[in-house]
Amino acid sequence: MAGTRLGAISLIVPDYDQAIDFFTAAGFRLTADIDQGRKRWVTVEPPGGGCRLVLARADTPDQQAAIGAQGAGRVWLFLETDDFAATAAQLTSAGAIFEETPRNEPYGTVAVWRDPFGNRWDLIQPA
């Protein structure tokens, strides 16, 4: 499995453009937006690189019910930063909601936040 890596994960969203607007305002880079007829291949990537998000528009009632619930109520996405305060400010300006004040853990400074779709994330500045 040499050279194997996790390149992207799918994030179910209600609307492509709404998700693009949030993530680009949050500092992510739009890496693809390809019209495929009834759907689009849309990916965004954090400014420092790493795993991309495939923004997947919910089409069915089951998919719509999964928006914001892919982590079953748990934090399941982890965004690392070199500058906690600046990144938190940019996320908040883009529409993220922090659920707590930053706390210091052995692995770094961390706080839980939600994107506009209900997904729970950790913002982490590693120790």
pLDDT tens sequence across 63-101: 999 999 999 999 999 999 999 999 999 999 999 999 999
**Per-residue pLDDT tens over the stretch 47-67:** 999 999 999 999 999 999 999
Answer yes or no: is pLDDT of 1 > 80: no
Which domain, by its residues, includes 57? 8-126
Handedness of CA 84, 92, 103, 52 (dihedral sign): negative
**Per-residue pLDDT tens over the stretch 26-46:** 999 999 999 999 999 999 999
Q: What pLDDT, on a 0 to 100 scale, did the predictor assign at position 28?
A: 98
Does 3 reside within a domain?
no
Q: What pLDDT, on a 0 to 100 scale, did the predictor assign at position 2?
A: 86
CATH number for 62: 3.10.180.10
Does 64 reside within a domain?
yes
**CA distance readout (Å), 75 to 24, 103, 112, 115, 118:** 21, 15, 7, 11, 10
pTM of the predicted protein model: 0.95
Q: What integer best gives the mean pLDDT of the chain?
A: 97
Does 1 reside within a domain?
no
Listed in sequence order, the residues at least 6 apart from 119 whose beta carbon sits closer than 8 Å to its beta carbon are 11, 68, 70, 71, 76, 77
Q: What pLDDT, on a 0 to 100 scale, did the predictor assign at position 22?
A: 98
Structural domains of the chain, count: 1
Percent of the residues in the chain that have a pLDDT greater than 90, as a whole number: 98
